[in-house]
Homo-oligomer: A and B are copies of this chain.
Amino acid sequence: MPAATAAASTARYDIDGFLKAIGDVPVTTDMQRVRLRSRDYFWYSPVLNKLLRGKSADVVATPRNEADVIAVAAACARLRIPLTPRGAATGNYGQAVPLEGGVLLDLTNMTAIEWQKPGVIRCEPGLKMNDLDAATRPQGWELRMHPSTKRMATIGGFVGGGSGGVGSVNYGGLREPGNILCARVITLEEKPRAIELRTDAAQKINRAYGTTGIITALEMPLAPAWPWIDVIVAFDDFFDALQLGSDVALADGIIKKLITPMIWPIPQHFNAVRAHCPDGKHVIFAMIAEQSLESFKAILGNRGTITYEQPHDDAPGKEPLYEYTWNHTTLQALKVDKDITYLQTIFPPESNVTALIASHEMFGEEVMAHAEFQRRLGRTNCSSLQVVRYTGDERLWEIVRQMETLGIRLSNPHSYILEDKGARVPSADMQLAFKHESDPHGLLNPGKMSRWTAA
């Protein structure tokens, strides 16, 4: 459980000196707007909501380019002002919330595409993922994976604060080798340096919440942009839904991007697609390549009924199914029921389905099963973002303890501490070591990396 370590965010810093030092870099000092932009989607968690709701930066800087970033970083280092980078701030763990005030570095105006070649793009961090895909799709490419917030979120925010999502059923998460080709970062020093972190070195900044450097460019590998079909399948028996999900996830000849089983009553709140989610039925939301749809149906057989089948489209005004999956599942429930929260857990690889069923039998509708099939360390696995009826912190942690007896491990979504996310040890060690080099004064998003704060 996270400790409330953050100090009050008062104007302890020389903000005037900062503003003078950065020249014409665009800033906002209007406190109402600064406070608003200091928030992310931590309010999904009643635990984080208590800890983070009052936190704010003192000023927001909005760099236009890398030179602006360098000016801001140099000023912060010299004046010892904390700096917290953010993209669209769609994360759920307070990744982009400044615990100790200071400067919020909003990178959403840095959206340039540096170059594209077949299967690779290099761009600035503020590029929205939907704009990125729109730019690459004419050449037949798209991002390998994206969060359910793709239509709002930036690529830099995803790499800095995210882990995987739609597409991870093929490629695993961003941590897997090959899923980030290069990250260019600016250090937080009096004389900031630009460092190109190629291949596995990019793990120094991947999901480090901006504690180890400011991303100014990313080189991302792309995937073939298949014509995807959004499919909803309804099931009488939740076990059949899980088993189909597992069968399809393990079928390497079937091209898919999303396999999301959800137990009834989760779909009751799915307004726009509610008509395709029959009362009392469990569902799978899936994205299947057109090429593989017939084979998908052959695997399905008569275990369930397809209630929805439409070409995928996430242009404005459209309803892509992925906005009912990953942590959007929780959001759809939260929109109508404020007593809802969630957990995030990883299942034992060879007994996904059994563990999910056991968990359902243990908790019933208090913990509503929602699984996301994905690859992890070269194996098909599922993680779960269970929708939980929240009755207090004590009960929440009791649920977690009981799940552990089933081999289900928590990746704690109710903590803003990096190390509570079950980060793989090699990455966490790399990040801690790199921070000594990139942020010697410990000014980058302070309070998030517990081992640094402790030392």
Contacts and interface: CB of A to CB of B under 8 A. Distances in A.
Nearest to A377: B250
B224 A170 contact: no
Given A199-B298, A250-B377, A221 B178 contact: no
A311 interface: no
A176 B294 contact: no
B177 A295 contact: yes
Contact of A200 (B144, B178, B298): B298
A118 B227 contact: yes
A181 B295 contact: yes
A171 B375 CA distance: 14
Contacts of A179: 253
A255 interface: yes
B178 A375 contact: no
Interface in A230-265: 249-255
A178 B292 CA distance: 6
A33 interface: no
Contact of A172 (B119, B253, B294): B253
A291 interface: yes
Given A178-B292, A198-B294, A291-B221, A172 B252 contact: yes
B253 A221 contact: yes
A379 B381 CA distance: 11
Please classify how large the interface on chain A is, using the bins under 10, 10 to 19, 20 to 34, 35 or more. 35 or more
A172 to B, nearest CB: 4
Given A226-B119, A227-B118, A295 B199 contact: yes
A177 B298 contact: yes
A294 B182 CA distance: 10
Contact of A299 (B171, B177, B227): B177
A295 B224 CA distance: 19
A145 to B, nearest CB: 10
Contacts of A291: 118-120, 181, 221-222
A87 to B, nearest CB: 22
Contacts of A205: none
Nearest to A298: B199
Contacts of A298: 177, 198-200
10 nearest A-B residue pairs (beta carbon) = A250-B378, A178-B253, A199-B298, A178-B295, A179-B253, A176-B253, A178-B254, A119-B291, A224-B224, A172-B252
30 contacts: A118-B227, A118-B291, A119-B289, A119-B290, A119-B291, A140-B140, A172-B252, A172-B253, A176-B253, A177-B254, A177-B295, A177-B299, A178-B251, A178-B254, A178-B255, A178-B292, A181-B294, A199-B295, A199-B297, A200-B298, A221-B255, A221-B291, A222-B291, A224-B224, A249-B378, A250-B378, A251-B378, A252-B375, A378-B380, A379-B380
